[in-house]
Structure 1
Amino acid sequence: MAVTVESAAPSVAGPALETLVRRESPSMAHTIRTDIKIALTRAQGCTVWDENGRQYLDLTAGSGVLALGHGHPAVLSAMQEQLASFAHGGWQYGCPARADLAERLVPLLPWEDPVLLWCTTGSEAVEGALKVARAATGRRQVLGFLGGYHGKTAGALGVTANAGFRSGVTEVPVAGLSLPYPVASGHVPPGAATETGHDFGQRILDHPDFGASDVAALIVETVQGAGGMQAAAPGLLSELREFTTRHGMLLVVDEIFTGFGRTGAMFGFQNENVVPDLVVLGKALGGGLPVSLVAGPRELLETVPPLRQTSTFSANPVACAAGSVVVDTLLREQLPQRSAMLGDVLVNAVAALDVPDVRLTTIGRGLMTGVRVAAAPGDRGAFTRSVAGRMRELGALALRGGTDGSVIKWTPPLTISEDELLRSVSILAEALTAESAATPSTA
């Protein structure tokens, strides 16, 4: 693939950035100093600008939140109108904006009589799903999967596999309650053939000494975002559905990142025509504002007594007004289908690259795609960090992931143009070429 890129000016550096870092909280300052190294002040569509007026192609969409891109006119208009009329009253009061969003979501869900349990953040919604699972089954344990990420609050950490997040702050210090996560060998195309016999620890769970009768639910992502954009092996969800039904467990699908079109379907579980017991939703739903929820059939959701899951800002009217526009636009413009198509465009463009001494593998699904970089025999994570930094200098913002940091992640707005997507691949190619030449010991 030919590489034609207009070079951008170097990223923000020096006193301005250091002043910002000193004003930030410790965790945010760490990422700004070590990985990001810029401060953003303006955004529109798939483009963001730093405080010096330099522009970048945004391949992150705010960690997958901005499905319609930055500053979508209809979303902004809905926010402004709702903000001017009624911005916040607390969860106790009825709110037309909340009811409007609920009416749009209910027909999209796979149950005859779905109920929505409103929350604010993704972690909070996961906590709500755990409450529902335990109340509905009378059991205590919930099992996650290796590589899974469901949040950093106390309950959500119990099903988040990363031991570094849990160390010293939860009662589960190791991933003893995390199951193997069978992954697809590459990027999963629409209509991929299903497989059977996945090794998700079924033999262990079936062993009489394990105590599966105390397991309330399994919680799983259809693509692991924090885990490095690994897509579940085709057929895994179907196997989990059969297994959990047989054992009286609930199947909880965490669609916080994958939901609302990112994997090529409105929800990731639809790629396998599986009906879970509970679905957790968030991120893209609020159009940039925090709103999340747990969805499931009425007979399950109503096992949680009233007032057991509420929060001050749950289903905020302004976020709900934005959410109605997000859902309407996704459907009207067929953005889930477009995500599937653009995912194939991205995969084919990466496959056409030929960078000496560097091997690339695409993984994921739709516009939730990772490019795994292998430049042996050096440190893959360090090399990939340098590549992401070089991409930033060339005008594209991308985050890294994976257990060794060797995956560059594409989660752009679903409205990204094909030209912009191909430009991002050209930037990747130039960054890889430059870093490979600059660090011969890793190439």
Structure 2
Amino acid sequence: MKLLTILANLGLAAAVACPHRKLKEAGLLNEAVLAKYEELKRDGGHIEQRSSNGLLSPSTLSGLSLPLGGGLVNGVLQPFTGRLSFLVPPTPQSFGLKAIPGTDINHRYIAPGANDRRGVCVALNTLANHGYISRNGITTWAEAANAIQTVFGFGYDMAAILSAVGLIAGGDLITGKYSIGGADSRVPDNLGPSLGLDKHGVCEVDNSITRVDTYFGNQANFHLDRWQALLNDVAAHGNLFSQAAFTVEKKRSYDDSRATNPVFDAGPKWFVIAHGERVFIYRTMLNGTSPDTAPDFGNVGPFFLNETFPHNWFRRPTPFPFADFLVDITSLYLGSPVELGVNEGLDNFVPLGTDPSVMTPSQIACFVLENILDEAPGSFSRVVVDNYDIVQGFLNGAVAPFFANYNCDLQNYTVPSASAGEETTGSSSDDGPAIVNGVYQR
């Protein structure tokens, strides 16, 4: 399986563009990393800051070319050319403590209508309900990336990567459009069917917080019983949606899926998505007026139960960058480490032999990049094989530049994966799209 080849190519120096304090907290700062960190510190700043001062090219990132434009200049994505010339990149947004939505009437809550798309991501649903992205649920790479910066305080790199993953997995590269729910005719099919974010394995995987595994039904639907199980874990941890609470919830949910779902998939993509969705809650749904305190029910409940903002809610005062995300998902995993693998029938779990607990943050970063480069092509129609230069041009220009500091070997990920051509359409909630107190309104 090509997903595992990265493990044979990870003879990496542990040079990480991560804050010293967070690495120490996560127990990931060994002597080699510490020495490298101090070297970078004496040299006037992080490697991330230095390497972004110029357009990334084969001379600065081995194996990376930019045939369709893109790349970074001073940390900002540049325009695309050729077939991607209509693609608008995200732009950095301002940060700082700010009431969201505050008194801005343009961002008041409006319940979605019958023709509006909503999906498995409560954050995107909330953004659409408040008009930070198109209220019909058809968004773009730039619009969604800019919105999650403005509203949730995601760093520019984190926002651009997240929205790019949504686009390549469920949208139309030529126009940059994608549905935050299921497939929709308003998203063009220039490279084959645009399946939407609700396609299983894109933004939703087995072992989700409030959705059932796809094997048991429509994974787009919110389930109150799963929410209540989470609340029980939260209650046992000071009524806070903290890392400690999710350490328990994640393990409990994993054990349940592994025991009951004969096709349970806890592979590499699961590692990133399952841990990421939990980290986002306690890092970006907290009230910015108390940035060092995990969110409570008053902060998190409105997002999940009504897909709206809490009363008097403020975004976090500082950006949440990709480097912090890597440390956080690793730290959450280490709190209750489990085997990566898949069920081939009940009581027949096949381990993949991949152990994130022994990876450095650089290796985790390359692990994330590998999944984007290797798995994304499988989300397109078979026609993408004949147009893979477009896909590769986007990945090289929009995603890979943010990984320049991690010394990832890109040579192995320049052709469509074996799964290219799969066409499993995503599904929007079959009871929605409006939700009130956790109950869909027909």
- Pair in the same fold by TM > 0.5: no
TM-score by length of 1: 0.25
Larger Rg: 1
